[in-house]
Amino acid sequence: MNTSLLAAGEAAHDASPAAGPPPRQRPARTRRGDALVGYLFIAPQLLGVLAFVIVPVALAAYYSVSEWNIFTGQLTFVGGDNYAELFQDPQLPSVLGATAIFLLGVVVLNITLGLLLAVLLNRRFRGSVLFRTLFFSPVVVSVVAWTLVWGFLLQGNGGVNGLLSLVGVDGPNWLQQGGTAMASVIVTQVIRSVGVNMVLFLSALQGVPPELREAARVDGASNRTIFLRITLPLISPTLLLTAIITVVGALQAFAQVAVLTEGGPGLSTTVLVYYVFQQAFEFNDIGYGSTLALMLLTFVLVLTLIQWQLRRKWVFYEA
């Protein structure tokens, strides 16, 4: 298809009355050499994708129709048994529910907060660089170290409740109650990662031509209207990018749950990726774990595809 498009393009180019002399055809050997160099350039990345994405996914598909006794190395074909277990697993609905809450919480908070911070810090004022650095700095902290520290702060007798008690508030036992435990995991994840979205939005905001806002202002538009009608549409490609990155990141969030709550109390913070880990590496049920991993992969693909398709409705000025 690409070849025919190229050919059509070349034909149109040739037919143009303004076209100059036809470009000299490069020798076939040179074209093959160029292609070879191209392939060599992408080879390292291709090998990486092959080794760490395509082969593992293919193996996961294979394991998902097998039962693997890892102690004896015996692999038995079980057909669709692991897929049938998806519908019989009494814990899976709770896990999917927790995953949806976590995803929604992280995506909404992360994008809203990231955009808000970017808008606030897009102005020049004393200390703006300091604030940008402060909000971005958690991104470079190790996720395990970050979560461990929050684990201490959120204990019943931890720092957060210590601060609350100074203002007369008797704080809850954050990590031991279903609702507050999930809220804690979401908030620690958002505080850690909001810096990335903030920087992306800042960069997008600085790319909005000031004369457009100026023209709108001259026409009598309010700040709110300017933001909603001028700025937001112009940064919508970045909005799409951050939405995809945040959704994928949220579905991969593992260490936060593993370190902070181990999925508890009950199953209230057991998100799908943590459940995959449990089944495959703690319960040694590689077959069912692989099936769940494929389900997670499908969710990521479907959500990304939906967002990609929706871009036509809300992304303007797509490059």
Partner 1 sequence: MFTRRKLLTALTLATAVGLAASGCSAASPQAPSAAPGSVDLRMTVWTSNKDHLALLDSIAKSYKASRPAIKSITFDSLPFADYNSTLTTQIAGGNSPDLVWMGDLSKDLISAKALVPLTDRLKATPEWGYDDLLESVTAEFSADGQLFAYPFSNSPFALYVNKDLLDRAGQKLEPAGLTWDRVSAIGAAVHSATGKAGFVVRDFDYSSWNMLATVWTGWGASAWSADGKTCTFDSPQMTDAMRFLHDAAFVNKSTPGPGTKADFFAGDAAFTIAQVSRASLLDGSFAFDVLPLPKGPAGAYSVIGQAGVGVLASSRHVEEATNFLAYLTNPENARLLAQYFPPPRASLLTGDKLAENNKKLSAAQLQSVVVDQVRGAVTLPNHKNPAEIAKKGKVALDALWTEKADVPAVLGSVCAALDPVLAK
Beta bridge partners of 49: none
Site string for partner 1, 22-61 (x = CB under 8 A): ----------------------------------------
Nearer to partner 1 (CB atom), residue 214 or residue 262: 262
Kindly give the residue spans of alpha helices, DSSP state H, lying in the chain. 2-15, 28-49, 55-63, 81-88, 92-121, 128-136, 143-153, 159-166, 178-206, 210-218, 223-226, 232-234, 236-252, 255-260, 272-277, 286-314
Q: Residue 111, interface with partner 1 (CB under 8 A)? A: no
Total of chain residues touching partner 1, rule CB under 8 A: 29
Q: Residue 182, interface with partner 1 (CB under 8 A)? A: no
Q: How far is the CB of 254 from partner 1 (least distance, A)?
A: 14
Q: Residue 73, interface with partner 1 (CB under 8 A)? A: yes
Considering only 102, 135, 146, 174, the residue that binds partner 1 (CB under 8 A) is 174
Q: Residue 177, interface with partner 1 (CB under 8 A)? A: yes
Q: Residue 316, interface with partner 1 (CB under 8 A)? A: no
Q: CB neighbours of 105 closer than 8 A, spacing ≥ 6?
A: 182, 183, 186, 190
Q: How far is the CB of 158 from partner 1 (least distance, A)?
A: 8
> What whole-number distance in Å separates Cα of residue 274 and Cα of residue 258?
7
Q: Residue 242, interface with partner 1 (CB under 8 A)? A: no
Q: Residue 142, interface with partner 1 (CB under 8 A)? A: no
Q: Residue 69, interface with partner 1 (CB under 8 A)? A: yes
Q: How far is the CB of 298 from partner 1 (least distance, A)?
A: 25
Considering only 4, 71, 87, 124, the residue that binds partner 1 (CB under 8 A) is 71
Query: Looking at 21-29, 35-43, 171-179, 205-213, which segment touches partner 1 (CB under 8 A)?
Result: 171-179
Query: Looking at 25-33, 104-112, 275-283, 298-306, which segment touches partner 1 (CB under 8 A)?
Result: 275-283
Asked if 57 and 297 count as a contact pair (C-beta separation under 8 A), the reply is yes
Helix (H), strand (E) at residue 69:
strand 66-69
If DSSP codes are grouped into helix, strand and coil, which group holds residue 54?
Answer: helix
Other CB atoms within a 10 A radius of the CB of residue 74 amount to 10
Query: Looking at 110-118, 135-143, 247-255, 274-282, which segment touches partner 1 (CB under 8 A)?
Result: 274-282
Q: Residue 159, interface with partner 1 (CB under 8 A)? A: no
> What whole-number distance in Å separates Cα of residue 171 and Cα of residue 149?
18
Q: Rounded to the nearest 10 degrees, how much is the dihedral formed by the CA atoms of 215, 216, 222, 225? A: -150
Q: Which residue has the tokens 């809220």?
A: 183
If DSSP codes are grouped into helix, strand and coil, which group holds residue 68?
Answer: strand
Considering only 52, 281, 308, 314, the residue that binds partner 1 (CB under 8 A) is 281
> What whole-number distance in Å separates Cα of residue 56 and Cα of residue 67?
17
Q: List binders of partner 1 among 283-302 (CB under 8 A).
A: 283-286
What would the two tokens of residue 24 be?
């000299």
Asked if 237 and 282 count as a contact pair (C-beta separation under 8 A), the reply is no
Q: Residue 173, interface with partner 1 (CB under 8 A)? A: yes
Nearer to partner 1 (CB atom), residue 21 or residue 90: 90
> Where along the sequence are the contacts to partner 1 (CB under 8 A)?
68-73, 91, 154-157, 173-177, 262-267, 278, 281-286
